[in-house]
Amino acid sequence: MNDPVRLMLVDDQELVRAGLAMVLDSCDDLTVVAQAGDGEAALAALEATGVDVVLMDVRMPGLDGIEATRRAVERHPDLRVIVLTTFDLDESVTAAIAAGASGFLLKGVPPQFLIDAVRTVHRGDSVIDPVSTRRLVRATAPLLGDERPEPDAAVALDELTPREREVLVLVGEGRSNAEIAEGLVVSEATVKTHIGHLLAKTQSRDRVQLVVLAFRAGLVS
């Protein structure tokens, strides 16, 4: 049996952390190894404890979840961060994703969804709910549109095939693999292959960064 996924919970409300820990520790393949009440404490704990996935609240006193995410991912490139928020139109979530988070969840998601999300992120994919993502990026598109793609990513965009560019647009619109497959009349396996090529060519960390890239490149508005 593989070692359990090591988790850190970062939230200024102890009751929230206790509830999350109860849900996650109930799974044999997940274990909460650290908790923190703010960003500074989280960064300090990361230096002392091996962690695979962080569940990070956005709004906390002192160092907030956005800056804590940026510093954590910068110092620990293999770390995966899931941003937690109370509001599905919180502009802070977009900023956190741009800072390197692998996705976001509302705190009110069902327990099994949370568990599956942690497992998904640990496998290297991103957690991104299609409906919530479409609502979020449409509401906060100006935050993404002010910056252009990095030079390497801009060059990579020119090297995409027409179908890959088409898939990137649909990813940017927040479509799920199933929705993309249905729209293009292909299999989900084919969609996953295209997304894999997109990640490699654009040197994007995950699907969330593809969404950001699509907006910054003007492919989605």
Residue where a domain stops, chosen among 127, 160, 187? 127
pLDDT at 185: 93
For residues 155 and 91, state if they share a domain: no
**Using a CB cutoff of 8 Å and minimum separation of 24, what contacts does 173-181 make?**
173/134, 173/214, 173/220, 174/128, 174/130, 174/131, 174/133, 174/134, 174/137, 174/211, 175/130, 176/130, 179/130
What residues form DSSP beta bridges with 34? 8
Neighbours of 147 (CB within 10 A): 11
pLDDT at 87: 65
**Which segments in the chain show pLDDT lower than 50?**
145
pLDDT at 26: 94
For residues 79 and 110, state if they share a domain: yes
Model pTM score: 0.68
Residue where a domain stops, chosen among 94, 127, 160? 127
Tell whether 137 is covered by a domain: no
For residues 11 and 84, state if they share a domain: yes
pLDDT at 147: 54
For residues 68 and 114, state if they share a domain: yes
Q: What is the dihedral of CA 76, 81, 85, 87, to 10 degrees?
A: 110
Residue 138 sits at the vertex; the CA angle it makes with 137 and 144, to the nearest 5 degrees, is 55
Domain of 176, CATH number, reads 1.10.10.10
For residues 19 and 119, state if they share a domain: yes
Domain of 30 in residue numbering reads as 5-127
Where do we find the tokens 């274990």?
31
Tell whether 18 is covered by a domain: yes
For residues 150 and 83, state if they share a domain: no
For residues 10 and 105, state if they share a domain: yes
For residues 82 and 12, state if they share a domain: yes
For residues 51 and 98, state if they share a domain: yes
Tell whether 96 is covered by a domain: yes
pLDDT at 25: 95
Report the distance separating Cα 178 and Cα 190, nearest Å.
Answer: 11
Tell whether 138 is covered by a domain: no
pLDDT at 91: 61
Domain of 55, CATH number, reads 3.40.50.2300
82's tokens? 């899931």
Domain count, the chain: 2
What residues form DSSP beta bridges with 32? 7
For residues 106 and 10, state if they share a domain: yes
pLDDT at 197: 92
Report the distance separating Cα 173 and Cα 167, nearest Å.
Answer: 10
DSSP 3-state of 35: strand
For residues 28 and 73, state if they share a domain: yes
pLDDT at 165: 94
pLDDT at 132: 57
For residues 188 and 82, state if they share a domain: no
Report the distance separating Cα 68 and Cα 64, nearest Å.
Answer: 6
